[in-house]
Amino acid sequence: MRKLIGIGMIVILLAALTACKEEESSGKESFAAPSVTPQTSEQDSATSQSLDQGKVLVAYFSWADNAVLDEDVDAVASPSVVSPGNVQELAGWVQEETGGDLFSIRVTEPYPSDWDACLDRANQERGENARPKLTEQVENLEDYDIVFLGFPNWWYGAPMAVLSFLEENDLSGKQIYLFCSHGTGGLANSVEDIKGVVPDGKFSDDIFDCYEEDASGSQQAIQDWVKELQVPGLS
């Protein structure tokens, strides 16, 4: 009987010791270093947005996008009216470099595909300080902080349709970069025309321009220009 009681006491002591060890082990685990909560996708997005400087808009006016081609149009004599036109092509390369959104400025009443007739109308519009009606405006313009604006020199100034665009789409406070395709007149009064209707625009003095006959071979030049601008938010 005494032996049985002794064995029972040993069993009880062993059980008690085991319980104590388990409690000690449990206590140690409760002091383990807290785990780090991974950043959520929402937090990632917020961080990314804080680094961004806003979306880029590449708006342009091109004769090729604003003319109804005659069946007998001479693509050799009037290459800029055959898609892609000079400014249209330049805008496409700017878009490739910036990843921005393209917007073609289009009038409701297309221009003639004959160059002389087109210049006559452009001259008339300039003389009347006209504002040709456009087919559409930029959606969600407030999303864009940076605007690249391309245009040809028409009759020693910016096409009046470009001024229509600027008056219908307020670019005040936005960073604006200009690029232009022109003939022998160079930029002429085009920059002054544009700045005159956007007095609160932040225009860069670094303007890309090229002779119209060189436009089709200007991909490297205009993309190098974009890189050299060191636009905030662009890699």
CATH number at residue 172: 3.40.50.360
145 lies in some domain: yes
The CA distances from residue 224 to 141, 162, 213, in Å, are 27, 25, 19
Q: What is the pLDDT of residues 109-139, one digit of tens each?
A: 999 988 899 999 999 999 999 999 999 999 9
Angle at 124 between CA 121 and CA 126, to 5 degrees: 110
pTM of the model: 0.75
Helix crossing, 160-168 with 115-128: angle to 10°? 50
Identity (one letter) of the amino acid at 56?
A: V
Tell me which range, 11-25, 51-65, 72-86, 116-130, is most confidently predicted by mean pLDDT: 116-130
Q: What is the pLDDT of residues 177-186, one digit of tens each?
A: 999 999 988 9
35 lies in some domain: no
142 lies in some domain: yes
97 lies in some domain: yes
163 lies in some domain: yes
Q: What is the pLDDT of residues 20-56, one digit of tens each?
A: 444 444 443 332 333 333 334 443 333 233 334 579 9
165 lies in some domain: yes
Average pLDDT rounded to a whole number, residues 159-165? 98
How many structural domains is the chain composed of? 1
Which range marks the domain in which residue 152 is found?
Answer: 53-229
7 lies in some domain: no
2 lies in some domain: no
d(CA 208, CA 179): 5
Q: What is the pLDDT of residues 49-58, one digit of tens each?
A: 333 457 999 9
